[in-house]
Chain A
């Protein structure tokens, strides 16, 4: 399941809802991305996330479907927020559940790596010196490469 929302989320409540008292799940992995209070040493007072309504949901659904094709997941969840946020607040939650831990760990990393390079979100950091759009990182593109399948790498 995917959700794009302005309001904060409760990590514990989301995981409990996903488990739904099932007894066949053996591993649940969760990742939470949060707002840092500094960027390259400069203080951040607020972060605003812009997104592309419609395409955001399509991309997240595509990424989730791909993870479910690659790993035997029993459940998966992506929640991504947009709008203004303060340091310390949640930005994104990824949860994966599988019978054994390896699939859940790998799928959670895959979901985050794909989301960071494909989902249409843009961060603007505000501090005492004014606002700045965050630059994309080359390390995020590199992180994506390790998931390339032999067919895709040959393209």
Chain B
């Protein structure tokens, strides 16, 4: 499955990427699976997702918890808790 991944704020700085498109293996079914898969890609992802419980996620621009299924997602974003306003 091909999906666009986006990274914001310090997650972006740590991965060194703003966005990328990846092909995911079939056994990556939830956000938690995806984080584990990303961490296996290299030290910058290990560092970015070290405290993975802090990181917030959105599928197709809607907030979701880490146990959310990613089936049919077009766009998945990772970011720290928001600090606007």
Contacts and interface: CB of A to CB of B under 8 A. Distances in A.
Interface of A: 33, 49-52, 54-55, 58, 80, 91-92, 112, 115-124, 133-136
Which residue of B6, B9, B12, B84 has the most chain A CB atoms within 10 A of its CB atom?
B84
Contacts of B84: 49, 51, 80, 91-92, 115-116, 119-123
Interface string B37-50: 00000000000000
A120 B85 contact: no
Contact of B79 (A52, A58, A115, A124): A52
A118 B8 contact: no
A136 B85 CA distance: 11
Interface in B4-34: 6, 8-10, 12
A115 B85 contact: yes
Contact of A121 (B10, B12, B62, B82): B82
A33 to B, nearest CB: 5
A123 B80 CA distance: 11
A112 B85 contact: yes
A136 B83 contact: yes
Contact of B82 (A54, A91, A120): A120
Contacts of B62: 55, 58
A58 B60 CA distance: 11
B9 A50 contact: yes
B58 interface: yes
A77 to B, nearest CB: 15
B61 interface: yes
Contact of A122 (B61, B63, B80): B80
A19 B58 CA distance: 36
B70 interface: no
Contacts of A115: 84-85
A130 to B, nearest CB: 13
Contact of A133 (B6, B10, B63, B85): B10
Interface string B63-83: 100000000000001011111
The residue among B12, B61, B77, B83 with the most chain A CB atoms within 10 A of its own CB is B83
11 contacts: A50-B9, A52-B61, A58-B62, A118-B82, A119-B84, A119-B85, A120-B79, A120-B84, A122-B79, A133-B80, A136-B82
